């Protein structure tokens, strides 16, 4: 279909605008052809009017293409077989937190305080408020991932990210009591990283999905048991002064252990590719999450022990990176052949050919 300014259907301008949402590389590759298809469909099926479904489809795939571009510098360097792992690990981690908090919410329903400060009861149900939506978002995302519905998982992950960021916004956005910033902030960072991972990954293999589901189940059960052993409850129980240190350690352990597991997954991927640059970058992102969490804790007048886990994560990440770099350097040195330009073996290419001939 050839269009002139006089015969251009009304949909063309809208589609042109929507196509600008895609990254430049995508537009250069597919933009012109996509526009002609869209306009053709509009003329054939809708008298030249813009199609709502086509527009939604464009916006969604533009968001995915943009997010894939954001994750490319790090995730794009991972081997294809393990590229799904970052998303899976972070989704599992977020879901473990979500399930624990949701169970705490349900179990403690009869002991709800009449008013905040909910942060005093962080261990046993900070999601008394509408923050429970984040729980459901993470759980739904993991369910879709395990069912192999990656596209749906990306959608719920995007929704969860937006919801968590919205709740983390400092003032005025919510007329209701909201969970502590430390919780929503941590969940927002996890949701964003999970989204980037899911956008960049292909459909995980059955084996990866089974391992993910099993790991999430075991971690959830283990942490719930741990919480029960420490606090005597998994529901709403105000934190006692003598329990503060224990509560803090448990909380930071709950955040830190999965973070370390996630870091280990990236390290493993980095070893496979013999490239630890990406691992370090990922470790920094994870470090940022734990540090933000500690900052939020500090703002809420929590004890200085809030900085224990971010510091531990940092030290661990640096130690792993240093060890890996050493291993790779040694391995490279062992594989590198003797320098042919050295003083003993120094021969020109012509000399070499004459000698070998």
Among 5, 6, 52, 80, binds other proteins (CB under 8 A): 80
Q: Please, what is the Cα angle at 105 between 99 and 109, to 5 degrees?
A: 150
Using rule CB under 8 A, residue 58 touches other proteins = yes
Task: Give me the least distance between CB of 292 and other proteins, in Å please.
Answer: 32
Using rule CB under 8 A, residue 276 touches other proteins = no
Task: Give me the least distance between CB of 335 and other proteins, in Å please.
Answer: 28
Using rule CB under 8 A, residue 29 touches other proteins = yes
Using rule CB under 8 A, residue 222 touches other proteins = no
Q: Which stretch binds other proteins (CB under 8 A): 31-39, 124-132, 270-278, 323-331?
A: 31-39
Using rule CB under 8 A, residue 40 touches other proteins = yes
| 79 versus 232: smaller Cβ distance to other proteins | 79
Using rule CB under 8 A, residue 45 touches other proteins = no
Three-class secondary structure assignment of 151-168: HHHHHHHHHHHHHHHHHH
For the record, the structure tokens of 116 come out as: 């905040």
Q: Please, what is the Cα angle at 336 between 335 and 338, to 5 degrees?
A: 130
Task: Give me the least distance between CB of 182 and other proteins, in Å please.
Answer: 37
Task: Give me the least distance between CB of 154 and other proteins, in Å please.
Answer: 11
Using rule CB under 8 A, residue 288 touches other proteins = no
Residues 132-171, one symbol each (x = binds other proteins by CB under 8 A, - = not), give: ----------------x-----------------------
- Binding positions for other proteins, rule: CB under 8 A: 1-2, 26, 29-30, 32-34, 36-38, 40-41, 53-54, 57-58, 60-62, 64-65, 80-81, 148, 202-203, 205-206
């Amino acid at each position: 279909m050839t269009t002139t300014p006089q015969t251009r259907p009304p949909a063309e301008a809208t589609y042109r605008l929507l196509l600008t949402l895609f990254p430049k590389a995508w537009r250069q590759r597919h933009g012109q052809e996509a526009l002609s298809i869209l306009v053709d469909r509009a003329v054939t099926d809708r008298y030249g009017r813009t199609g709502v479904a086509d527009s939604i489809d464009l916006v969604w795939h533009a968001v995915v293409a943009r997010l894939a571009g954001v994750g490319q510098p790090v995730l794009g360097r991972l081997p294809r077989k393990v590229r799904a792992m970052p998303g899976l690990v972070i989704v599992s981690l977020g879901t473990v937190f979500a399930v624990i908090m949701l169970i705490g919410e349900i179990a403690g329903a009869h002991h709800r305080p009449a008013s905040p400060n909910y942060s005093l009861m962080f261990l046993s149900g900070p999601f008394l408020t509408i923050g429970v939506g984040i729980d459901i978002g993470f759980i739904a995302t993991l369910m879709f991932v395990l069912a192999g519905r990656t596209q749906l998982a990306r959608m719920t992950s995007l929704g969860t990210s937006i919801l968590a960021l919205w709740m983390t916004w400092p003032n005025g956005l919510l007329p209701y009591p909201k969970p502590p910033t430390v919780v929503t902030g941590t969940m927002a960072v996890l949701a964003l990283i999970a989204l980037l991972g899911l956008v960049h990954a292909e459909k995980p293999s059955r084996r990866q999905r089974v391992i993910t589901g099993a790991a999430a189940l075991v971690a959830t059960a283990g942490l719930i048991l741990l919480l029960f052993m420490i606090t005597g409850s998994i529901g709403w129980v105000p934190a006692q002064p003598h329990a503060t240190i224990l509560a803090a350690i448990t909380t930071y352990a709950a955040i830190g252990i999965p973070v370390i597991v996630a870091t280990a997954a990236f390290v493993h991927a980095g070893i496979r590719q013999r490239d630890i640059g990406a691992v370090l970058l990922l470790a920094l992102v994870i470090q940022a999450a734990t540090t933000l969490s500690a900052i939020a804790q500090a703002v809420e007048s929590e004890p200085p022990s809030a900085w224990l886990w971010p510091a531990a994560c940092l030290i661990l990440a640096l130690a792993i990176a240093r060890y890996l770099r050493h291993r790779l350097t040694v391995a490279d040195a062992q594989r590198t052949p003797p320098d042919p330009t050295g003083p003993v073996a120094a021969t020109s290419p012509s000399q070499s050919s004459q000698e070998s001939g």
